[in-house]
Amino acid sequence: MSQSPAPAPEPRLFKGRAKVYPQSVHGTFRRLKWTILTVALAVYYLLPWLRWDRGPFAPKQFLLIDLAHRRFYLGPIEIWPQEFYYVAGLLVMAGIGLFLITSTVGRAWCGYACPQTVWTDLFMAVERVIEGDRNARMKLDRAPWGSEKIFKRLAVHLSWLIIAVATGGFFILYFADAPTLVKNLFTGDAPSVAYATVAVLTATTYVFGGLLREQVCTYMCPWPRIQSAMLDENSLIVTYKAWRGEPRTRGVKKAAQDGGKTGDCVDCNACVAVCPTGIDIRNGPQIGCITCALCIDACNDIMGKLGRPRGLIDYTTEKRDRQEAAGEALPPKWKSVVRPRTFVYTGVWALIGLAMLASLLTRERLDLSISRQRNPLYVQLSDGSVRNGYTLKLLNMEARPRTFTLTLEGLPGAVMWDSHATESMAAPALRITVGPDQTEARQIYVRAAPASLPEGTADIRFIARAEGGAVAMQETRFDGPER
């Protein structure tokens, strides 16, 4: 054996966690991240408190998912369960929106808007305020347990728990009237499912944001794998310009004196120290990178101090990086955003949105459903006439009571009555009042003379007219004896 292979590392059963101590950083992207964090949390907290007057019979919350009554309210829009396709449409739009965003500005969702990122960032900020920055935290970790360490650790975990209760837990405000629910939560009158949800979400927020952090992104989350697959050479991603930085040189002057080639990277490790997932961006694109761009801020800071051009680590595309390395003229950055692929995504996205909007604006807030009684198909009465039974469902989707007139077409002389009346009250039309936002189900009987049934059966049509003019109709059949 001329050359022995490298000794194989001893296989281990598990990989211990290398704790990440992200350093604080200042810069454009850090400011952007704070802004998005503030806006996201503000929206999350304040949205349930926004009121919207829908009249006396409907809830007054702007955004409400009313699971008990199976209604979804968003401002003037109210969605019933059978209109769930609007939610499906929104999900499709969210999917295409993700394609669009990812293909243009890379994994912006991961780096800025993902709840895991937002809460982890918040938790890290709390940790930094109480325990100090990176070095202080590393020192504290190594220090033996004493009163100071115990106090600081308690303070951190307690703060995390309070944030977790307040943010993770108050998710339930979207599912009930927020002021009432908060009051009930404190008086102990809220439903047990509310407390359970608060408990579960508090636990997950605390564990994911405080304890697991970057491990959620690298091990648990399928998203980075999906998003990475959506990138192409024109997507903006966080990139280390290796052609400019390599070879890394610490002692520049000495290296220059020695006549060696020097890159711009001074190997200060600032980009690694600030990274919330603990990766080294200089190793190239990798799954652990959530493209939060904090390394750009850190590196720009150093480059500025050294008097070198900024942007050694930069938001750029694979193609631009290649062109820049080759010294070619660079097209403006917006051109990598505006290109056929993004046009197609935007077009499809807008098309679905417009179709949903159009259907939302033209939909009828009234629905009629008739199902024929099939056992027995028909009943012959003693005077020779024929009776059929139907189950009628009238849906009044408006937040006020409405009275509907139900008539029948295709069966001359037919009369009907419902299970709230008797046959002696049979009439050619029925008036039915349906409560606000309610469904009225009734048994309807229709009686007709056999003379109006030359074929034994007749195709008929029920028509429900609201006072305001809204109309719903449904076709069905009237059966009689064969002849």
Partner 1 sequence: MTEHKHTEDGLPTTGHEWDGIREYDKPLPRWWLYLLFGTMIWAVGYCIVYPAIPLWDGASRGSFGWSSRSELAAELRAVDAGRADILAAIEATPIEQIPQNEKLMSFAVEGGRSAFKVYCAQCHGSGAAGGKGYPNLNDDDWLWGGDLTAIHQTIRHGIRFEADGDTHMSQMPAFGRDGLLDASQIRDVTAFVRVLSRQEKPSDSSRRGAAVFADNCVSCHGAAGEGMREVGAPNLTDAIWLYGGDTASIMETVTNARFGVMPAWGGRLEPVTVKQLAVYVHSLGGGE
Choosing from 38, 359, 419, 433, the residue that interacts with partner 1 (CB under 8 A) is 419
We find the least distance from the C-beta atom of residue 199 to partner 1, in angstroms, to be: 20
Q: Does 5 bind partner 1 (CB under 8 A)?
A: yes
Q: Does 451 bind partner 1 (CB under 8 A)?
A: no
Enter the tokens of residue 278. Answer: 């603990």
Site for partner 1 in 305-364 (CB under 8 A): none
We find the least distance from the C-beta atom of residue 8 to partner 1, in angstroms, to be: 6
Choosing from 2, 187, 192, 375, the residue that interacts with partner 1 (CB under 8 A) is 375
Choosing from 148, 233, 423, 475, the residue that interacts with partner 1 (CB under 8 A) is 423
Specify the residue, 176 or 231, whose C-beta has the smaller distance to partner 1.
231
| Distance, CA of 171 to CA of 187 (rounded, Å) | 18
Helix (H), strand (E) at residue 148: helix 147-163
Q: Does 254 bind partner 1 (CB under 8 A)?
A: no
Binding part of the chain for partner 1, among 240-248, 291-299, 308-316, 379-387 by CB under 8 A, reads: 379-387
DSSP states of 292-322: --HHHHHHHHHHHHHT--S-SEEEE-HHHHH
Specify the residue, 89 or 285, whose C-beta has the smaller distance to partner 1.
285
Site for partner 1 in 7-36 (CB under 8 A): 7-9, 11-17
Strand partners, 367: 395
We find the least distance from the C-beta atom of residue 341 to partner 1, in angstroms, to be: 24
We find the least distance from the C-beta atom of residue 12 to partner 1, in angstroms, to be: 5
| Distance, CA of 190 to CA of 65 (rounded, Å) | 17
We find the least distance from the C-beta atom of residue 197 to partner 1, in angstroms, to be: 23
Specify the residue, 383 or 467, whose C-beta has the smaller distance to partner 1.
383
Q: Does 225 bind partner 1 (CB under 8 A)?
A: no
Choosing from 43, 46, 53, 219, the residue that interacts with partner 1 (CB under 8 A) is 219
Helix axes 147-163, 115-131, angle to 10 degrees: 150
Alpha carbon separation from 304 to 138, 242, 265, 310, 459 (Å, rounded): 27, 18, 12, 6, 83
Note whether 416 and 370 are within 8 A (CB).
no
Binding part of the chain for partner 1, among 166-174, 297-305, 306-314, 384-392 by CB under 8 A, reads: 384-392
Of 78, 48, 76, which is closest to residue 63 (Cα–Cα)? 48
Choosing from 387, 390, 402, 414, the residue that interacts with partner 1 (CB under 8 A) is 387
We find the least distance from the C-beta atom of residue 389 to partner 1, in angstroms, to be: 6
Q: Does 426 bind partner 1 (CB under 8 A)?
A: no
Which residues have a Cβ under 8 Å from the Cβ of 426 and sit 6 or more positions away?
415, 416, 417, 445, 447
SS3 376: coil
SS3 237: strand
CA dihedral 42, 48, 52, 55 (to 10 degrees): -170
User: In 10 A of CB 41, how many CB atoms?
Assistant: 17
Strand partners, 239: 314
Residues that bind partner 1 (CB under 8 A): 5-9, 11-17, 212, 215, 219, 374-376, 379-384, 387, 389, 419, 423, 445
